[in-house]
Structure 1
Amino acid sequence: MYDLAADRSNNMIDLATPSYRKASFALALGSFLIFCNLYLFQPLIPVMADQFSVSVLKANGLLAASTTGLALTLLPWAILSEKLGRYPVMMISLALVPLTGLGILLSNSLTVMIVARALLGVALAGFAAVAVAYMAEEFTQSALTMAIGTYISANSLGGISGRIFGGLVCEQWNWETAVAAMALFSLLCALIVYALLPRAVHFQQEPGFSVKKAIRNIAGHLQNPKLSLAVLIGGLNFALFVNLYTVTGLRLIAPPYSLPAGWTALIFLCYLSGTLSSRLSGHWRKQRTTTQGLLIGTFISMSGVWVASLQELTAVIIGLLLISSGAFFVHSLAYGWVSHHATRAKATATALYLVAYYLGGSLGGFLLIACWQKAAWHGVLVGSMTLYGLMYWMCFRLRKYDSTDQTPTMAAS
């Protein structure tokens, strides 16, 4: 008798195969590209404020626009992927990225540039929304765990590279050169991903799929406290993480440090500690519970804020390393929790997590920058400790569901 399940298993991408090497590299490269583009402007916020003679808070719209555009369109892309499949959505997304980059380059005002950055976020969202769902459908379980670990490491490396590239190129030449080079790099990467990534063979459209049903799935996920709490934890975690770097950059270009923007961009190398901790999260979950890890990761990140409060530059760097380690650890565990506990419409559930994640990144910037402008680092401490307190409360609420979590955590995005 024909065994459909066995045939499907035999056709899935497994570890130590040519298909796995090509697919995992292509997905990691796509991830790297997404985050290079998303954070290119973060170290340039003070530069753009001077360029357009506006406040740093208003210039922050260049970063907030891309993360907001990404956040608000993750779910539409995920819903579209339930209809068209994961592979076409990822390819469309990558094709749009260099085009929107050119739109940014041709912008003649801050408002137009902010709109162009928002459209870039929309383009980036397609790949980010469905890459993990593609992996879940096409990879064996053992290959999936390794591929997602590689994928999230590429996230962090892309974020580091985009920020450092933007800061150093702008310091040496100008922001236009940085944007043009990134658009060309995006085109090259998109072509490589198209050439290497295997077409999806296991995608099956959900029976009776409709937009109305997709909206019901979203509502169901939000009403499930197992998912909604983890989603909110992810949003608060990213609101703190990405914007603590922004205000640290503002702190370092001001007296008594007075570092140039290009050198300040090098603080993003501290992300590398997060690259390591995200990989360690899978090993943690084999021995301990997810919520224990969430509490410990939150504590490590919060401790980094207090260490960074010291005046010495070395303490600031150590603080950033702790912030990155804790934040990526929390992110990997929370995202893996959502992926595991979503019993249906997994692409929608993971996209919902990323919506909160990137909206947190957008809104948190306005909060922490306002705290910085109001009371310097003391204001940042008050604002960040408030958000950490909310995270702790949610982690403790999530603990009662931890006994139902029996599979290894998957790290992503």
Structure 2
Amino acid sequence: MEAINEKATPYTPGESSFWRITIALMLASFSIFSTLYVFQPLLPVFASQLNISATESSYLMSSCVLAMVMGLFVLGFLADRYGRSLVMKGSLLITALSLLALPLTASFEWMVVLRFVQGFFLAGIPAAAMGYLGEEMSHKHLGLAMTLYISSNALGGMGGRVVGGYLTDIFDWRITIWSFGVFGFLTMISFMFMFPKERFFKKTDQRMTEDLRGMLVHLKNVHMLVLFLLGVLLQVVFTAIWTYIPFHLNEEPFSWSLKSISFTYFAYVFGVLAPPIAGRFSDAIGLKKVMFTGVLILIAGVFFTAIPSEIFIMIGLSLICMGFFVAHSMAAALVSKSATHHRSGASGFYLISYYLGVAIGSTAVGTLWEKFEWYGVLSVTTFLIFLFIFLPFYKNE
């Protein structure tokens, strides 16, 4: 790793390097999150063709998410110790290779193993990207870079689901996975050429135990803990809504077909478009105020979905996507900006809380659905409102 360039200044939108970094991370993020979610619409295909149950087919998602949580911690730690760029390039390479190898596996069990390995290395981009941006980008323009990066997360998630299902319907799931593998490989090559070397990263020579202790200090910072908690609650609400909205719309009085329900995923477009606009506002009025606005928009969207009207539900889902991705991108930027050391570790803790919210929102909230149906699912928003109103963190800065 090169020594810190003392004459260098953080990148601003007026420099081409600012946009090279941002575009490279957007491509990498799109590839990573499309890889994560491409398997979701294909689960019924695997269940049918491999003669396994629906629950067993879900291991292709759950094993990946579980490994991703582990990877966020481990790779975030390694990125702080050995460099973010190295971790991200390695992540893209192994992700692409695992995609290309997956259709060649001899059994479903080996597919799950490969997805577990894949999930661990998928974490390399989200674990290191925010720490990299926090060090290399001007703090005044960090919100813009971060929101463009977060927008590509949403676009990748939507693209993986929509394109994956479309290609599989026309061709075969193997062709779909190979196509995503080729795209991932091309992304990795582009990333190698576009991504500049780190200028402000300083490799640590201290013992690993001391380095780990420094990383864990983030868990003693009240402001950081609130942001981590916010990450959990945002994702619990968001995941719960999108997991159980198909059941809600499939029942009376709506009785939508599954094909019609699938069109609701296009609400993610608002999650793609809103964060960059919010990033512009954050440069002028601050990250925290824009984050609060995003939380309010999400809460308003939840209330819209409580109205038994198809139009209001679609408006609500669009507002939920808009508010969630705005609040999430601003919270991620605040974590990166607030961390004075071990930035990748801090970002890793935030993302661990984020994916913990995925598990809670998809599984634990199921009990509320079974007992109280849609209003039980919406009740989880109460905790987000409580955090928003009562925690003093919001009032101190």
TM-score between the two structures when normalised by the length of structure 1? 0.84
Q: CA deviation at 1:39?
A: 1.3
Which residue is equivalent to 1:199? 197
Name structure 2 gaps, 5 residues minimum. Answer: none
Distance in structure 2 (CA, Å) of the matches to 1:370 and 1:61: 20
Question: Cα RMSD between the aligned structures?
Answer: 2.9
Look up the match of 2:383: 390
Structure 1 residues 235, 58: closer, same or farther in 2, change over 3 A? farther
CA contact (8 A) 1:46 1:56 kept: yes
User: 1:223 maps to which residue?
Assistant: 220
Match of 1:259 in 2: 258
Report what 2:34 is aligned to. 36
1:348 pairs with 2:345 = yes
Which residue of 1 is the match for residue 271 of structure 2?
274
Match of 1:136 among 130, 134, 137: 134
What is residue 238 of structure 1 aligned with on the other side?
235
Cα contact 1:91–1:194 (8 A) shared by 2? yes
Q: Distance in 2 between matches of 1:25 and 1:58?
A: 37
Structure-2 change in CA distance of 1:354 and 1:257 (3 Å): same
From 326, 329, 334, the counterpart of 1:329:
326
Q: Which stretch shifts more, 41-50 or 163-172?
A: 41-50
- Describe the shift of the 1:173–1:326 C-alpha distance in structure 2 as closer, same or farther (beyond 3 A): same
Quick check: 112-121 or 33-42, which moved more?
112-121
Q: Indicate conservation of the 8 Å contact 2:305/2:316, yes or no.
A: yes
Find the aligned partners of 1:346 and 1:52 in 2 and give their Cα distance.
43
| Offset from partner CA, 1:251-287 (integer Å, 9 cap, x none) | 5577822233xx6444222112122332344415744
Where does 1:332-411 land on structure 2 (aligned, <5 Å)? Answer: 332-369=329-366, 371-372=368-369, 374=370, 378-386=372-380, 388-400=381-393, 402-404=395-397
Q: Among 185, 199, 208, which residue is 2:183 paired with?
A: 185
**Residues 287 and 330 in structure 2, CA contact (< 8 A), matched pair in contact too:** no
- How big is the shift at 1:397? 4.5
**Aligned match of 2:67 in 54, 66, 69?**
69
Structure 1 CA distance, aligned partners of 2:350 and 2:75? 14
Moved more, 64-73 or 98-107: 98-107
- Cα distance in 1 for partners of 2:307, 2:44 equals 23
Partner SS for 1:248 = helix
Given that residues 65 and 362 in structure 1 are in contact (C-alpha distance below 8 angstroms), is that contact kept between their aligned partners in structure 2?
Answer: no
Is the contact between residue 31 and residue 155 of structure 1 (CA under 8 Å) also seen in structure 2?
yes
Range 320-329 or range 134-143, more displaced: 134-143
> Aligned residue for 2:11?
13
Structure 2 letter corresponding to 1:97: T
CA deviation digits over 1:119-176, x for unaligned, max 9?
2111111121111222233333455443223212222211221111112222333332
* Structure 1: gaps (5+ residues): 405-413
Percent identity between matched residues is 27
Q: Is the 8 A contact 2:290 2:326 kept in 1?
A: yes
Paired with 2:272 and 2:178, the residues of 1 have a C-alpha distance of 28
In structure 2, how many angstroms separate the alpha carbons of the residues matched to 1:253 and 1:184? 36
Maintained 8 Å contact 1:241/1:323:
yes
In 2, Cα distance between equivalents of 1:326 and 1:143: 20
Displacement after TM superposition at 1:311 (Å): 5.3
**Cα deviation digits, residues 204-251 of structure 1 (max 9, x gap):** 12352x331233134321122211121011022113213422333455
Quick one: structure 1 residues 246 and 50, their matched pair in 2 at CA, closer, same or farther if it must change by over 3 Å?
A: farther
1:54 and 1:248 mapped to 2: Cα distance? 25
Q: Is the 8 A contact 2:295 2:324 kept in 1?
A: yes
Structure-2 separation of matches of 1:370 and 1:175 = 33
| Higher alpha-carbon deviation: 86-95 or 98-107 | 98-107
Other-structure match for 1:407: none
Q: Which residue of 2 aligns with 1:92?
A: 90
Q: Separation in 2 of the partners of 1:233 and 1:41?
A: 28
Specify the alignment match of 1:411 in structure 2.
none
Contact 2:130–2:336 under 8 Å retained in 1 = no
1:25 corresponds to: 23
Quick check: 1:81–1:130 contact (8 Å CA) kept in 2?
Answer: yes
Q: Which amino acid is 1:21 matched to? A: W
CA deviation profile, 1:20-39 (whole Å, cap 9, x unmatched): 33222212111111111111
Distance, in Å, in 2 between the alignment partners of 1:272 and 1:239 is 20
Q: 1:15–1:142: 8 Å Cα contact kept in structure 2? A: no
Asked if 1:319 is matched to 2:312, the reply is: no
Partner of 1:163: 161
Take 2:310 and 2:394, find their aligned partners in 1: how far apart are those partners? 41
Superposition map of 1:142-161 within 5 A: 142=140, 144-161=142-159
Query: CA 1:307–1:396 in structure 2 vs 1: closer, same or farther (change >3 Å)?
Result: closer
CA separation in 1, counterparts of 2:151 and 2:58? Answer: 26
Contact map agreement 2:77 2:215 (CA 8 A) in 1: no
* Matched-pair contact (CA < 8 Å) for 2:83–2:203: yes
Distance 2:82 2:5 in 1: 23
Quickly say closer, same or farther: Cα 1:125–1:288, change in 2 above 3 A: closer
